[in-house]
Chains A and B, each alone.
Chain A
Amino acid sequence: MTRGLANLGAATLRQIEELGRMIRFGARIVMAASRPPFRWRAFMAAVYDSGVLSVALICAAGLTVGFVLGLQLYNTLVRFGAEDSLGTAVGLSLIRELGPVLTGLLVTGRAGSAITAEIGAMRTGQQLDGLRMMAIDPIHFVVMPRAMAIFFVLPLLSALFVSLGIFGAYLIGVELLGLDGGTFLASLEAAVEFDTDVLQSLVKSVVFGVLLALIATWRGYSCEPHSAGVSRATTSTVVTASIAILLADYLLTALWSL
């Protein structure tokens, strides 16, 4: 009985310690980013890997989510004779929730896991130690550009997702189901406000970017230096970052509607 409690306590303390180490790691990334030189070459390469190469995935996902929303919401709205507000329903759900959240989850799976695996492999191959031997801070050289790239890229990809989602719903609603295109766009533009909806979307995607950048790089940087450790760290990135994004989404939505 006492041992069970002690185990629980030890496990809790380990989790808190891990969280503390991760936050200190985050502070070191921020300090590295503010210390010149900023690694533009490495940053550009990371933006290319995490951002440009995700464009096709985000476009495909945004378009299909838009199609589905268009069909599903139309079928619901038409029962109330309110199919003219399809634009409102699609726009608000995409901009406030689905855009940032689904983009966060997709980028976690596509780019976050890759960053963890890459940094983990560098650690396993003792390349990070090699950098330290040459008096190069691996956080400044390897971690910071990748973390900054994720943070920078997520709002852009989220905007892409939202725009394609709206376009997909427009295709379904206007071209397939025969709604009026002007009504669709007018009901969208009338319902969506900058300071409640678009700003909320931007804030969410920035927060998700911070969470994902921190979790993905920390999991790689702190992984056990063998191949099983790298694979565990990669899995852990996807699981932790997904949960963190969904939890943060709930908290932000709740805070916003206070």
Chain B
Amino acid sequence: MQSNSNRDLAVGVFVLLGLGLIAYLSLQVGGLSLREPGGLVLFATFDDIGGLSPRSSVRVGGVKVGRVESIDLDEDLRARVRLNLARDLELSVDTAAAIRTSGLLGDQFVALEPGAEDELLVTGEDFAFTESAINLDKLIGSVVHGEGLGGGD
């Protein structure tokens, strides 16, 4: 009992360490954001989203700036993708959204290519320019059947 204060110190360090590691696993590894949603919400409509799924990342020049929130079909049966981006992101109205793959077989993500206009996109707007996912089957099919790489659309 003489080392009560030492014991309490050890318990304190232990608890702090444990809580810190839980916080690290949740925030850094788990990607939990303490900031409430309320970032920049934009929509992009694609003919073919390939393997894109909710929580896929959104990147500008390879840097992650947000994630895919949900994917629905619109009235024309095209895929309407809802993107939640960092609030302070400034994207011009002619920014293009494309679905890309990291590596040959890696995860699919939405790549944004900034445009040149001065006017900025605001929450709730749609991207004017989109580019669908490259469908590997279609690509191989078009080569095999000699239709050339531009075939498909």
Please indicate whether A and B come from the same complex rather than being unrelated chains: yes
- Expressed in whole angstroms, the Cα–Cα distance for A159 and B22 within the complex equals 6
Residue B77 at the chain A interface, CB threshold 8 Å = no
Residue A258 at the chain B interface, CB threshold 8 Å = no
B15:A91 contact, CB within 8 angstroms:
no
Residues of A within 8 A of B17 (CB): 156, 160
B21:A159 contact, CB within 8 angstroms:
yes
Residue A172 at the chain B interface, CB threshold 8 Å = no
Q: A163-B21, A190-B57 are in contact. Are A48 and B11 (CB under 8 A)?
A: yes
Residue total for A at the interface (Cβ-Cβ under 8 A)? 30
Residue A193 at the chain B interface, CB threshold 8 Å = yes
In the complex, which residue of chain B has the Cβ closest to the Cβ of A159? B21
Residue A214 at the chain B interface, CB threshold 8 Å = no
Residue B55 at the chain A interface, CB threshold 8 Å = yes
Residue A52 at the chain B interface, CB threshold 8 Å = yes
- Expressed in whole angstroms, the Cα–Cα distance for A250 and B69 within the complex equals 30
Residue B136 at the chain A interface, CB threshold 8 Å = no
A44:B11 contact, CB within 8 angstroms:
yes
> Can you name 10 A-B residue pairings with CB atoms under 8 Å?
A47-B11, A48-B7, A48-B11, A52-B7, A52-B10, A91-B29, A159-B18, A159-B21, A160-B21, A198-B26
Shortest distance from the beta carbon of A56 to any chain B beta carbon, whole Å: 11
A192:B18 contact, CB within 8 angstroms:
no
Tell me the A residues contacting B by CB distance below 8 Å. 44-45, 47-48, 51-52, 55, 84, 91, 95, 153, 155-157, 159-160, 162-163, 166, 188-190, 192-195, 197-198, 201-202
B25:A162 contact, CB within 8 angstroms:
yes
- Expressed in whole angstroms, the Cα–Cα distance for A195 and B25 within the complex equals 12
Interface string of B39-67 (1 = CB under 8 A from A): 00000000000000001010000000000
Q: A47-B14, A156-B15, A159-B21 are in contact. Are A198 and B7 (CB under 8 A)?
A: no
A52:B19 contact, CB within 8 angstroms:
no
A51:B29 contact, CB within 8 angstroms:
no
Shortest distance from the beta carbon of A183 to any chain B beta carbon, whole Å: 10
B29:A188 contact, CB within 8 angstroms:
yes
A192:B30 contact, CB within 8 angstroms:
yes
Interface string of B17-39 (1 = CB under 8 A from A): 11101101110111110000000
Residues of B within 8 A of A192 (CB): 29-31
- Expressed in whole angstroms, the Cα–Cα distance for A202 and B32 within the complex equals 14
Shortest distance from the beta carbon of B153 to any chain A beta carbon, whole Å: 30
